Amino acid sequence: MIRIRIALLLFIICTRIYAQEDTIVSRLEHIAIIEQKIMMPMRDGIRLATDIYRPKTDQPVPVIFVKTPYNFNAWQDGKLNTRIYRDAYEMVSQGYAYVVQNERGRYFSEGAWDILGTPKTDGYDAFSWIAGQSWCNGHIGTYGCSSTAEWQMAVAAMDHPAHKAAVPMGFGAGVGRVGEFYEQGNWYRGGAQQMLFTVWLYGVQQDEMRPRLPEGISRQDLLRLQRFYDMSTDMPDIDWKEGLKHLPVQDIIKNANGSKGIYDKMIRRKPNDQAWYEGGLYHDDMPYNIPSFWFVSWYDVSVSPNLKLYNHIRNNIADKKTEDNQYLVIAPTLHCAYKWANAETIVGERNMGDARLNYDDLIISWFDHWLKDDEQSNINSMPHVRYYTMGSNVWQSSESWPPENAVMTPFYLNSDGHANSLYGDGTIGTNMPGTKDSPDEFIYDPFNPIPSHGGGVCCTGNAVEGGSFDQQQLEAREDILVYTTPSLDEGVEVTGFIESTLYVSSDAKDTDFTIKLIDVYPDGRAYNLDETIQRARYREGYDREEFMEEGEVYRLEMSPMATSNYFEKGHRIRIEISSSNFPRFERNLNTGGNNYDETQGVIARNKIHHSREYPSQIRLPIIDK
């Protein structure tokens, strides 16, 4: 009897699911002309697989264009992919044609794929093709998150006349160099590899020996094949907590019996390698002239570079109208998780409160304004910057980033020479340290690194869970230096970029230094806000390597962090300093070698100096109320 009831329940659930699938497909078919597997030609003859969903009307309409490396095939595992139909219905029902296309070399698209290296001309050629269709009114908006956003900035620099507006979300994968950041598409931070790409490429890169469809295959055959053959690789699951420990780093995917692909060449590139400037990344020497609505998350992999790019665009556009039409939203969420916010938004372990925002209405209103010439939209009444302040758990607004009333305030590191661990004597405060230098020393063993615990991460499988987590257990380690303010007599809001200057020394030729900003609650819980890293060899710039000499003290400017957090009365502000945050970032083996091809490392004895001569400090953007 129990089995019968379970079977009946499963039947009812499945029936409802299929009914929902049939409903969304039938609803879309009722309002849309559906054209799948259109092979759009590029200037070099390569054809890109494209699905088009457009309103049933004789009038030309504006277009929302999505280009992606991900699988949007209408059939997956023998079933309808209802997500793509829902996305299409959302846009078509608002009067837009929805066009989604795979990057070259992905799934049914022809050519060779190269993440971060896809030709910018593909986007330009797609704009020209779409704008030339009788059903297009000549206005195209681009839209997408993460790797579906990465191409938008570089193609915007080409200034196609049909490209009227952009909505890049979680767009760090498209940022090459901007200011002091040489991210190269999230590959680096401070000269250290962000290991997310090792995991991501394991699941995404295509093997050199993969099966391929015949060149020039007909659309009719593609439509038939898509029902049972979606060209998607099914990679075996990997325990990345263990898998990322493998050395050398260049062989991690090989050790997992993964595919042979572009990882093998990318892992060898240095932060300023010329190859980064030959593909589809946006760099700060490129123009930009597209009104854009930018979406960023506090616990994303590249929040600071994303914000730097926003400022760069606003401050370097010749056209005043375009400069005035750059808008920004910063949410307290993980990568591309904007719409997951709810009345009690938990990010990691920390409750961020009611972080909801009506993203759908904001985005549609944005496109209505630029693609339909809708002067009734609410764009002109929007603040240029809308950001969520954690701690006080409120949405706030400003006309710039950081807000104009943010005052950079230095907090100096101090101790009697034993800031090691939560139980040490490390402090930070606004008073300049004395003349005595009492450096804090710690041992960094690359084979016993500090494990990553939360933070701004993406795409690392089970290796790292992103978000805000209590750091107390980690802070008990002697190889973490901990500097904390006294309990705050009144609340303090920190909103903006966080800058850090460290004076360091080491007995190793090269090593890394990490820093993390923490909100400490009265009961001791210590929640991470942001973190960064700097490889010492790149302290003078990413176009050169300068190795360290034992006994010398070096000034290290850490790449900026960013946050908006209210430290309540009774809380404390804390920073942690160490030399690893693994596997968020790769381990430095301390040899001064290539690192990616090494299996042996050396232990480094690293020091942080703090005195009048060596004023190690963190500069916090405190809001002047």
Q: Which residues of 28-42 are buried (b: 16+ CB within 10 A; e: fewer)?
A: beeebeeebbbbbeb
Sign of CA dihedral 258, 259, 263, 268: positive
Whether the per-residue pLDDT at 11 is higher than 60: the answer is no
The reported pLDDT for the residue numbered 380 is 78
Read off the CATH number of the domain in which 112 is found. 3.40.50.1820
What was the pLDDT predicted at 566? 98
* Mean pLDDT on 326-337: 97
Question: pLDDT band for position 429 (50/70/90)?
Answer: very high
- 16 or 278, which is more confident: 278
pLDDT of residue 600: 97
Task: Dump pLDDT digits (tens) for 239-279.
Answer: 999 999 999 999 999 999 999 989 999 999 999 999 999 98
The answer to whether the peptide bond before residue 248 is cis (omega within 30 degrees of 0) is: yes
Q: Which of 595, 533, 616, 556 is nearest to 189 (CA)?
A: 533
- pLDDT, one tens digit per residue, over 473-500 is 999 999 999 999 999 999 999 999 999 9
Q: Cα-flanking dihedrals φ and ψ of residue 598, to 5°?
A: -105, 150
Evaluate whether residue 191 is within a structural domain: no
Q: Examine the domain organization and report whether 132 and 179 are in the same domain.
A: yes
Asked whether residue 282 falls in the same domain as residue 344, the answer is yes
Q: What is the pLDDT of residue 366?
A: 96
55, pLDDT greater than 60: yes
What pLDDT does 7 receive?
47
pLDDT at 9 over 60: no
- 562: Cβ–Cβ under 8 A, 6 or more apart, which residues? 298, 303, 304, 307, 496, 497, 498, 530
Note whether 380 and 528 are same-domain residues.
no
What's residue 10's pLDDT? 42
Residue 78 confidence (pLDDT)? 79
For all residues of the chain together, what is the average pLDDT? 94
On whether residue 233 sits in a domain, the answer given is: no
Q: Residue 493 phi/psi, 5° resolution? A: -100, 125
Torsional sign, CA 245, 531, 173, 231: positive
Q: Does any domain span residue 209?
A: no
Q: Is residue 204 part of a domain?
A: no
Residue 97 lies in a domain: yes
Residue 8, pLDDT > 50, answer no
Which pLDDT value is given to residue 562?
98
Indicate if 448 and 583 belong to the same structural domain: yes
* The pLDDT of residue 433 is above 80: yes
Which structural domain, as residue segments, surrounds residue 178? 2-184+273-398
Q: Which of 61-65, 77-81, 170-174, 510-514 has the lowest mean pLDDT?
A: 77-81
- Considering the domain boundaries, does residue 202 fall inside one? no
Q: What is the pLDDT at residue 21?
A: 53
Burial of 402 per CB tally in 10 Å (0-12, 13-18, 19+): buried
Q: Is residue 574 part of a domain?
A: yes
* 324 and 460 co-located in one domain: no
Summarize pLDDT for 157-213 with one digit per residue, the tens. 999 999 999 999 999 999 999 999 999 999 999 999 999 999 999 999 888 888 888
581 in the same domain as 462: yes
Q: Would you state the structure tokens that stand for residue 362, as one six-digit string?
A: 């904001």
Q: Which of 350, 367, 398 is the last residue of a domain?
A: 398
Convert 472-494 into a string of H (helix), E (strand) and C (coil).
HHHHCCCCCEEEECCCCCCCEEE
> What average pLDDT does range 132-144 have in this prediction?
98
> Using an 8 Å Cβ cutoff, are 167 and 140 in contact?
no
Residue 314 sits in the same domain as residue 379:
yes
Q: Is 213 exposed, middle or buried (0-12, 13-18, 19+ CB in 10 A)?
A: middle
Do 310 and 438 lie in one domain? The reply is no
pLDDT tens-digit readout, 532-587: 999 999 999 999 999 999 999 999 999 999 999 999 999 999 999 999 999 999 99
CATH number of the structural domain spanning residue 433: 2.60.120.260
Give me the torsion for CA of 92, 96, 102, 103, rounded to 10°: -160
Choosing from 398, 433, 451, the residue where a domain stops is 398
pLDDT for res 119: 85
Are residues 368 and 466 both part of a single domain?
A: no
Nearest Cα residue to 47 out of 153, 125, 161 = 125
Instruction: Please check the confidence at residue 13 and state whether its pLDDT lies above 90.
Output: no
Mark whether 165 and 107 lie in a shared domain.
yes
Of 15-29, 474-488, 504-518, give the lowest mean pLDDT range. 15-29
Q: How many other C-beta atoms are found inside a 10 Å radius of the C-beta of residue 321?
A: 9
Q: For residue range 578-589, what is the model confidence (pLDDT) as tens digits?
A: 999 999 999 999
Q: Is residue 214 part of a domain?
A: no
CA distance 413 to 266: 38
318 pLDDT tier (thresholds 50, 70, 90): confident
Contact 616, 609 (CB under 8 A): yes
Instruction: Determine how many CB atoms are found less than 10 A away from the CB of residue 462.
Output: 13
d(Cα 152, Cα 165) in Å, to the nearest integer? 10
User: Which tokens sit at 29?
Assistant: 């078919």
Q: For residue 539, give Cα distances in angstroms to 397, 491, 523, 556, 607.
A: 35, 35, 38, 6, 16
Q: Report CA dihedral (574, 579, 581, 582) to the nearest 10 degrees.
A: -160
Boundary of a domain, candidates 367, 398, 429: 398
The CA distance from 561 to 514, in Å, is 11
Angle of CA points 86, 130, 45, to nearest 5°: 110
Q: How many residues does the chain have?
A: 625
Q: Do 345 and 402 form a contact (C-beta atoms < 8 A)? A: no
> Does 348 lie in the same domain as 454?
no
Number of domains in the chain: 2
Terminus-to-terminus CA distance in the chain, angstroms? Answer: 67
Detail the DSSP E strand segments found in 303-347. 326-334, 346-347
Residue type (1 letter), 285 = D
- Asked if residue 529 and residue 389 are part of one domain, the reply reads no
Furthest-apart CA atoms within the chain: distance in Å: 82
Q: Which residues contact 425 (CB under 8 A, 6 or more apart)?
A: 415, 416, 417, 418, 419
